[in-house]
Chain A
Amino acid sequence: MSREPISTSSEWTFELVQEYDREIAAIAEEFGLDTYPNQIEIISSEQMMDAYASVGMPLGYNHWSYGKQFLSVEQSYKRGQMGLAYEIVINSNPCIAYLMEENTLPMQALVIAHACYGHNSFFKGNYLFQSWTDAESIIDYLVFAKNYISKCEERHGVDAVEAVLDSCHAIMNYGVDRYKRPYPLSTVEEEEKQAEREEYLQKLVNDLWRTIPKSEKSRKHDKGFRFPSEPQENLLYFFEKNAPLLEPWQREVVRIVRKLAQYFYPQRQTQVMNEGWACFWHYTLLNTLYDRGKVTDGFMLEFMQSHTSVIYQPPYNSPYYSGINPYTLGFNIMMDIRRICENPTAEDRDWFPDIAGSDWVETLDFAMRNFKDESFIMQFLSPKVMRELKLFTIVDDDLREDIEVTSIHDDMGYRAVREAMSAQYNLGNNEPNIQVYSADVRGDRSLTLHHYRHNRKPLDEQSANEVIKHVHRLWGFDVHLHSMEGGEIMQSFHCPPKLELDAANPVS
């Protein structure tokens, strides 16, 4: 094997990018990284801003919120308040990674290692991505969605479509099936089925909303009746199937947003792991490259400089502090797993008896495949990492006068800190738990949502009042939202807002 460095200049060319990709791919293969084929696209900074604005989707339907996103990225980029990401990578097969033309050669190599081998193998290996997203067909589905939405715009007007999309976006986080694997998507099938579905859905809905009046007697009779019989947590799905006034195309739009929410759900659940994994591998791959004499010292210095700034964690009292940096946390845990495997201490043997001293490649692979952030942290956050990051937990309770430091990075506190950290990444704790409680299908058709409080956390009033308007738009009749704690209603929101005296309520 030659000890000649691949290049000495920092200007990149297509040949050099290819050369680096080949070398990195070879090393990645030695470590057993299993990836989708890579499609590396070199783009300009304007195109990067475009990619930003469309949340990294290579093609999305048109919506003003993406325009807003674009304007704000553009504004802060032009003022120099913010640099653009070096790369964006898309969970698809082939795995598309965008590289900016402004990057230097070491940066391009870093990005290739990070995105094309790190993220890529994570997308392919992690169980959440495997079971909830379909890398083969996402591009196809995006094409379908874009075409369908623009067809709707032609037929029903931009405003009408925009209104439905706005409402769906507002409750996009409540459009995820947590327990059922979604059916794979594909354009052809989608288009074929779509027409069929339209008809069928409408029929179902019509049946539910049968308008033949029932006698007073029978209404009293089924007092125990409730629709839906179990509370539903997938609001978008519920509206798609049951909202009485939606037209077939509107149901399809709801469905599209729901499918996208589903597609992004694993990414939201594996931020720490995904970034940690990618950082671990760019670090490991490029260091191996260096060990083999393929890159120069200057290359490594530039690499280390951007690597350290990516994984920098400002302390809690720094003006730059804005929460835990998922890159830092993930990278540290991953590095520590390797250390525990290779050089376990007595403490490690105590805490991780089953992985201390095992093969690190296998152990890391296992960790990558079978966890999500919450369980990954619970399983692998080691005392050493907690010490290094100096983690501590505080409890802020509105019933108490001050904030209490409940545990720190010491023997007494490790477990508590780890548990708290894990809970912090539980999406279920971070998002208000809101479910469809009942729809009064036999009466005034009003819909009741319940928010089940976790740790007595209330709903933010202002935003709840706004969102409920969107829910009302989808549902078409009165909507009530109750925030419940221990079976008691703590907060209530209504749309249309309830007046003090309901007597002269004008029909809207």
Chain B
Amino acid sequence: MSYIIDRRLNSKKKSTVNRQRFLRRYREHIRKAVSDAVDKRSITDIERGEKISIPSKDINEPIFHHGKGGHNTRVLPGNDQFSAGDHIPRPPSGQGGGGGSEASDSGEGEDEFVFQISQEEFLNFVFEDLELPNLLKRQLAGLEEFEYRRAGFSNEGNPGQINVVRSLRSANARRIALTGKSRRALREAEQELEDTSDKDSNDAIALQEKIRTLKARIHRVPWLDDYDLKYNLHVKKPLPTSKAVMFCLMDVSGSMDQATKDVAKRFFLLLFLFLNRNYKHIDVVFIRHHTSAKEVDEQEFFYSRETGGTIVSSALKLMHEIVQARYSPSEWNIYAAQASDGDNWNDDSAVCQKILTEQILPVTQYFSYIEITNRDRQALWHAYREIEAAFPDSFAMKHLVDAGDIYPVFRELFRKKIA
């Protein structure tokens, strides 16, 4: 006897745990591959999985087996030319008809073990151990908003919340339970009455009487009772602020060439992806500046060309204005990333410092500044240094030279802080 069972609807992910185990065990390898991939990828296609390859020798499961040498006898099929006693020159070492014993079954001859990880896993590896600074603070602090959520049913509530289906269902159940015995007796009595031939005999009359009382008894069970009523239950849930705005500030003066802008772009992009994983809703504001600042769209931000001098404070002022106009700090988590080659009017750096410390930093979660240059540091850097000392939690700055530096610097900036 055979049983045929359709298992196709069973879970398909039986190997998920084992897969996770594998990823966990080789996380160092994978992290390295991911880090290389981030550097090499073009900016626009960061949102996909990645092919990871690990040297086979690192993941071999060793077993004892014979090495080359000794006396080996082998049987081969398909003889087309040999007779007993023939001698064949030994093929050069490596592959060939003769030498070698049983290879290990774990994929000898393949140098790389290649597999695919999903986009989500990829991003997990990218952002592993990273935490947006001060993320927690604002989430807990932002408890001003509430939302009602359904939370099952209750026996108490106001009439507006009555759940009709549930109430009637429990009324029905109650009626069935309370009248079961009487109805069975009623059925029997009716059957008996039908079976009696003489409808006018005493027995029949007694039966009719019995049927009447039973019916009355059944009828007395109320259709709907107080304790049948069920109400929809709603609970009040605090809504953490999950809105964030990210300001990208970039110097587009003549001294910033396209390569430098590209580096900056990648940095902004990493930051955006990172925020994307932590907040439901993110606004991005692009502010570009030379001597004066301007809010622009993404395309213009990265690609349009302008020349001129550099006044950094103009961008900071504009950012402050936008925050005041559109992004109330009580509702929004505010992040800012500024990229520059460090050029600035000498007098202006002090102004920047003032705006930052007095107006911007008190309301932002985090302000990061990267300077992309291979020249000596200038006034702006030194001014910012002082800010960093004053606001170590919400201000960070780093210096980088080319694209390869981005990822390490990014990790450095957003490293998970240990309590």
Contact = CB atoms under 8 A, between A and B. Distances in A.
A456 interface: yes
A456 B71 contact: yes
Contacts of B10: 43, 47
B72 interface: yes
Contacts of A147: none
B86 interface: yes
Contacts of A454: 70
A485 B27 CA distance: 43
A391 B71 contact: no
B73 A420 contact: yes
Nearest to A48: B12
Interface stretch (B95-103, B172-180, B280-288, B332-340): B95-103
A436 B85 CA distance: 41
A390 interface: yes
Contact of A67 (B23, B67, B70): B23
Interface size class of B (residues with CB under 8 A): 35 or more
A170 B1 CA distance: 40
A398 interface: yes
A312 B24 CA distance: 41
B77 A47 contact: no
A483 to B, nearest CB: 9
Interface in B53-108: 59-80, 82-90, 97-99, 101-102, 104, 107
Interface in A48-71: 49-50, 53-54, 62-71
Interface size class of A (residues with CB under 8 A): 35 or more
B7 interface: yes
Interface in A1-53: 14, 17-18, 21, 25, 37-44, 46-47, 49-50, 53
Given A38-B3, A40-B5, A62-B21, A464 B14 contact: no
Given A64-B24, A412-B84, A395 B2 contact: no
A391 to B, nearest CB: 6
A17 B80 contact: no
B195 interface: no
Given A53-B15, A68-B113, A467-B63, A63 B4 contact: no
B64 A431 contact: yes
A67 B6 contact: no
Nearest to B110: A72
Main DSSP-derived SS at the B contact region: loop
A440 interface: no
B78 to A, nearest CB: 2
Interface string B9-23: 010111101111111
Contacts of B75: 324, 391-393, 417, 420-421, 424
Contacts of B65: 431-432, 459-460, 463
Contacts of B107: 72
A63 B24 CA distance: 11
A390 B104 CA distance: 27
Interface string A148-168: 000000000010001000100
A398 B80 contact: no
A389 interface: yes
A318 B78 contact: yes
Contacts of A62: 17-18, 21
B25 interface: yes
Nearest to A59: B14
A434 interface: yes
A54 B15 contact: yes
B77 A389 contact: yes
A316 B69 CA distance: 21
A404 interface: yes
A386 to B, nearest CB: 9
B109 to A, nearest CB: 11
Contacts of A358: none
B14 A42 contact: no
B21 A395 contact: no
Contacts of B24: 64, 158
B80 A43 contact: no
A162 B25 CA distance: 10
A320 to B, nearest CB: 11
Nearest to A394: B74
B40 interface: no
B64 A70 contact: no
Interface string A410-432: 10110001001101100000111
B70 A458 contact: yes
Contacts of A424: 73-75
B114 A413 contact: no
A173 interface: yes
B116 interface: yes
Given A389-B78, A460-B65, A404 B25 contact: no
A502 interface: no
Interface string A168-186: 0111111000000000000
A75 interface: yes
A504 interface: no
A67 B20 contact: yes
Interface string A363-402: 0000000000000000000000000011111111111011
A64 B22 contact: yes
A424 to B, nearest CB: 6
A455 B90 CA distance: 19
Interface of B: 1-8, 10, 12-15, 17-25, 59-80, 82-90, 97-99, 101-102, 104, 107, 113-116
13 contacts: A37-B2, A40-B2, A42-B7, A66-B21, A72-B107, A316-B76, A405-B86, A406-B73, A407-B84, A430-B102, A431-B64, A458-B67, A464-B64
Shortest 3 CB-CB contacts between residues of A and residues of B: A315-B78, A67-B22, A67-B18
Given A67-B18, A391-B75, A398-B71, 6 more contacts: A38-B3, A40-B5, A53-B15, A402-B88, A410-B83, A460-B65
